[in-house]
Structure 1
Amino acid sequence: MKTILIIDDEKEIRELLTIYLKNLGYTTLEAANGAEAMEMFEREAVDLVIADIMMPEMDGYQLLKTMRSTSNIPFLFVSAKSDDMDKIYGLQLGADDYVGKPFNPLEVASRVQALFRRIEAYRDPEEQELDYIEIGDIRLDLKGCKLYKAGVQEETTSYEFKILALLMKGAGRVMTKAHIYEQVWGEEYIGDENLIMVYISKIREKIEANPRKPDYLITIRGLGYRFEKGC
């Protein structure tokens, strides 16, 4: 399940795009301006960005420049600045596509799908054939659904494995309880924090030398959890 960050200062546009994208099975996040979007981008696992250009605090061009300094995430402009020079400038900055306003939400949804297909088609073959993730002495066999700690297999439930795989694939990035729940269970998060906490505790018992002082699976107070990149 892919997560799409929608950034526009018009609430109605964000809600319209959310409806169409969720109907296609995507998870969506919303931000009203570039500054808010950057805060969200830094703490959430986002797979694609849809952004307006003319926004308060940080416009779409500056937002794209900032994101491109650390990420090659697919980026789609949906903007009323639809002159050829505006499109050319946006694409030169690193945008992957550009749709002018007013727009047909079906077109935007189709372009999102096309971007994801393009990424999959040109992904590094080694990445496509990834069989495992290894960080420190933790090894996750993605095809065999097995967890190894210092070479010794640890038994996991299916949900424990899915949560750990999600966190290790996004190592270094904070993931909220809501994001974990929606990605693993495939349902809208209803605020049951205890469920996630129980699974995190069980995972720590299997991967940490001292579960009370974890080296790998770190709690970020008030936000969620992060799997450390190198231990």
Structure 2
Amino acid sequence: MNRNIKILVIEDEGAIRNLISTALQTNGYKYEVASNGSSALSLLSTHQYDMVFVDLGLPDIDGVEIIRKYRTFSTTPIIVISARSNDDDKINALDEGADDYLTKPFNVEELLARVRSTLRRTQYLDNKQTEEEHIFTNGLLKIDYISQSVFVADEEIHLMPIEYNLLCLLAKNVGKVLTHQYILDKVWVNAIESDLSSLRVYLTSLRKKIEKKSHEKYIQTHIGVGYKMVRVTSTEEE
């Protein structure tokens, strides 16, 4: 049941890291571990996770800084695990984008309950968004998800299947930077490293098709990281 859920555990204390890892493995969750902030940021920028546990007291980078940086390109749920019990520390972590806060020492059953409740909430929000949003509009760009049609300035444009899937992925995450690896994982099947060059080719082609008629820049390149669709305010062609 949980085999497709992947969790990153960012924790420098070996005993706590092993405790969490064992609990996740026993309950069928996939997981990866990072013992410091640098390795954690590397994993976060190149892999997609369904949830992240982060300790605030890491040896090299404060956990709050990791949360702050991760939130610039991902909305993946974050649960803080920390010995810091001060309310100010909790509030600061939550304000920076954490979804929940678990104070050490903690009960394994409580940790697993937090995982389940967070995943349920995320799934509910994803399902609700899918049900309610059949049409996406951004400036002169419109996507009809039901008919799988794309229009620019009320004129339909024809996209290849991969181009359409790329556009939908960016549109459903408008304003967020999606890493190369995240896009490859979502759009390609069994993505390999060489597919990165294909991604660049398809993005270039997609850009030309949607920006030729609108003269608006919808897709931003974040060199070395990935791509982002920006919100365009114009509603009619000049």
What TM-score does the superposition give when structure 1 sets the normalisation length? Answer: 0.67
Aligned partner of 2:37 in structure 1 is: 33
Range 4-13 or range 144-153, more displaced: 4-13
Note the C-alpha offset of 1:190: 2.8
Name 2:102's counterpart in structure 1: 98
Distance 1:139 1:4 in 2: 34
Alignment partner, residue 85 of structure 2: 86
Whether the aligned pair in 2 keeps the contact of 1:137 and 1:150 (CA below 8 Å) is yes
Is 1:142 equivalent to 2:141 in the alignment? no
Q: 2-side partners of 1:160 and 1:11: how far apart?
A: 44
Name the structure 2 match of 1:230.
232
Q: Is the 8 A contact 2:11 2:35 kept in 1?
A: yes
Which of the numbers 212, 220, 225 marks the counterpart of 1:209? 212
Identity of aligned residues (%): 22
Q: Does 1:167 align with 2:170?
A: yes
Indicate how the Cα distance of structure 1 residues 154 and 162 shifts in structure 2: closer, same or farther if over 3 A, else same: same
Q: CA deviation at 1:63?
A: 5.2
Q: Please state how far the C-alpha of 1:92 moved relative to its aligned partner.
A: 4.7
RMSD (Å) for aligned C-alpha atoms:
4.8
> Secondary structure of 1:53's match?
coil
Give the gaps of 5 or more residues in structure 1.
none
**C-alpha displacement of 1:177:** 2.0
TM-score of the superposition, structure 2-length normalised? 0.65
- CA 1:102–1:173 in structure 2 vs 1: closer, same or farther (change >3 Å)? same
In structure 2, C-alpha distance between the alignment counterparts of 1:3 and 1:205, rounded to whole Å: 35
Give the counterpart letter for 1:98 in structure 2.
L
- Residue 133 of structure 1: SS of its match in structure 2? strand
Does residue 221 of structure 2 align to residue 219 of structure 1? yes
- Number of corresponding residues: 221
Query: For 1:117 and 1:222, how far apart are their aligned partners in 2?
Result: 33
Summarize the alignment of residues 1-231 of structure 1 with structure 2, pairs less than 5 Å apart: 6-9=9-12, 13=17, 16=21, 20=25, 32-33=36-37, 37=41, 48-60=51-63, 74-79=77-82, 81=83, 86=85, 92-93=91-92, 94=94, 95-98=99-102, 100=104, 111-121=114-124, 128-209=131-212, 215-230=217-232
